[in-house]
Structure 1
Amino acid sequence: MSRSSSNSRSTTGISWLPEIPSHWSIEKFRYLFDESTEKNGPSPVGTMLSVSGYRGVEVKEYDDEGRRRTAEEVEDYRVVRKGQLAVNTMWLNYAGLGVSEYEGHVSPAYRAYWVSPRLHGRYANYLLRCTAYVDGYTALLTGIRPNSLQMSRNDLMGFPVIVPPMSDQLRIADFLDRETAKIDALIAKQEQLIATLHEDRIATITHAVTRGLDPSAELEATGSDVLDAIPPGWNLVSLRRVLIRIDQGVSPQASSELADLGWGVLKAGCVNGGKFEEREHKKLDADFDIDPAIVVRSGDLLVNRASGSPELVGSAAIVGELHYSLILSDKIFRLVLNDRADTHFLGWVLNCRVYRDQVKQHISGAEGLANNLPSSSLRGFRIPLPGIREQRQIADFISARTGEIDRLIKKCDSSVGLLREYRAALISDAVTGKIDVREMV
């Protein structure tokens, strides 16, 4: 890959834009994009669309079909025709725009624009979504809260757009279609490997806490639908049998900041995938009266009681080293155990499939409590329980084995991150003429 072969380059006079080839031009957004005010009316046009920061305009997917809006509810929604530019001016710092390959409709908060015939749609899509342009949008956003920053109409109308000759635009679009497809294929392979490693991790945990470490041990039937067989000498007991109590926190007013110089209250996402994330908290007011009974300490076993995501409900993790002063929230349980159970062993049990199956059955079957786990239900969950010495041996084994898997996952995550960085840099370099794609085969 070569840098631009032309020695003739022009400065743009714009801080966030590099030099561009001298035979390219820059025009204002208003001369290249014509706003469309078309709305759905009684009959919706196409399907509901949204804008992904990574993929651009796409068909909106619903986790729950009950959330799909009716024709009456989308009557005032903005129509987006194929080839139009859809823009969410409150999400431009996350590349919240793109040229649509679909015909459909979007929230009234979006705008839709016809694209000038002097711009090729695929080139415009790459250009307007590249990292250099996102930096340019971000510098012009105004507002108070991070997720409500917005670009004014005047700023958008005056925004600079790089316009190469159409032949260059086509070459750039073809080059980026080809190269990003290769990168995306590599990313997909890494993500599939990550998914497989996560499955292996859960399978490792589940096998160890339900079958033990002796592969020759003959299993004994339990007579339970929860777990059909366990090693000899083990028991299948209700969770309440190993509990002294379950602590639960409060729901005070708190800011979204981190509690660097004060106290914080945990958010529901502080336990996810068997790991505790102490940064998932909100800062408490300085005058909040701290109850020592709900202060979080290293070694605590926490369970997510409630969340907007069903997959998070019931998640469990052990608190590691703490760098913040934190209290439990009303969405987090702390399990205080008696001497029948080792904390680390039980932490792994609460991350195995047998436990997750019970959580899923409860939250999917209890009407009105879809994203909630009552303590009474948690106490009744059945868990496999060997002797305390064997519990500790199993916990040590799982820690070592999952540590190896976690290192592989981290390595794959790093690869995905580097590939995405390279993809973003390649796009920015191509659409701004930093690399000359005319010589590419």
Structure 2
Amino acid sequence: MKFLEEIEVRGKTVFLRVDFNVPLDDNLNIRDDTRIQASLPTIKYLLQQGARLVVASHLGRPKGQFNPKMSLKPVAGRLAELLPGTRVIMAQDVIGPEVDKLKAELKEGELLLLENVRFYKQETDNDPNFSRQLAQGCQVFVNDAFGSCHRAHASVVGIASFITEKAAGYLLKKEVDYLSKITHNPEKPFVAILGGAKIEDKIPVLESLLTKAEVLLIGGAMAYTFLKARGLQVGKSLVEEDKLEIASQIMKKAEANRVKLLLPLDHVLAASIESREVASVAENYPLPQELMAVDIGPKTIAEYKHFIQSARTIFWNGPLGVFEVEAFARGTVEIARAVAESGALSVVGGGDSIAAIHKAGVADRISHISTGGGASLEFVAYGTLPGIEALK
């Protein structure tokens, strides 16, 4: 895979795929421009090097229909503010004669932002004809959209067949560099922390981590599927009944591979998430039938911290409780602080885990915060992604 700085772009029309899938408020103002800021180094470099820049992204899930609420127009406005002195042109479409004319008229150091690529169903279908039309008039393809690299879509994968010169942008390279340290040769001890609601979303990454990590710390609602698979009664806690067998197999495999797979020792319980208050903390089974687990308890926090403190490599995806509710946030926030204080190479992926890191106020002490939750999980599971393979 080539890197941006290894290719000559002056005077060339460069198709740059970014991830500008930013949250908008009801008035279509951008609520958080983190994703735009993340690709600014790549955009600035290409403009400074004299590229004629065509920028493409998706926003939301318009399902192949034009939807003005998911237009990239607010992004064009924000880019113009962030790039003073740069001419930013907003296309009314993604492909077609009008767009081809705008591409042809681009001057060095100018930026053309295409409309939302997912306004066309052919984008998510990875349609070859649509890919060819995206590539029309472009001599270089740069991918900086790590958060979309696990999707074999036209503007991520298909387009690469129609442009010979290809490279990774700064953001994509940084993501691959950090995640490769986890997947290819992690410094030991390697501790993985997995939380969130469902085992279903994490099966491939669990399978992969069983061959790489020494310790797996499990929290969040998914822990209760594991505990029930051990024959324990977990009250009203969320359980994936159809995943009990898979949970048993994962625990057996952990034992066979001599991986410590740890589950919560004690549980913060509530009548419901909506109650927003702790009913009790329990460590004995059965858990009360009328209560559900909403966070890990103090004994679990202490045990998990013990393993985090001795780690040299840490990967974390998913909160350990319902951390959006203040009363149920302690476990996730304490673990975030422990990861920050560990001195280990730490990689955190996934929107909820990132929000937890910010809530704990320790974002500046994490080695790498991944911009793509789904993409980072898939990379850890398979060691590569369709969008990365397309650049090779």
Quickly name the TM-score band, shorter chain normalised. under 0.3
**Larger strand proportion of the pair:** 1
Could you state the TM-score of these two structures normalised by the residue count of structure 2?
A: 0.26
Normalised by the length of structure 1, the TM-score is 0.24
Structure 1 or 2: larger helix share? 2
Higher Cα radius of gyration: 1
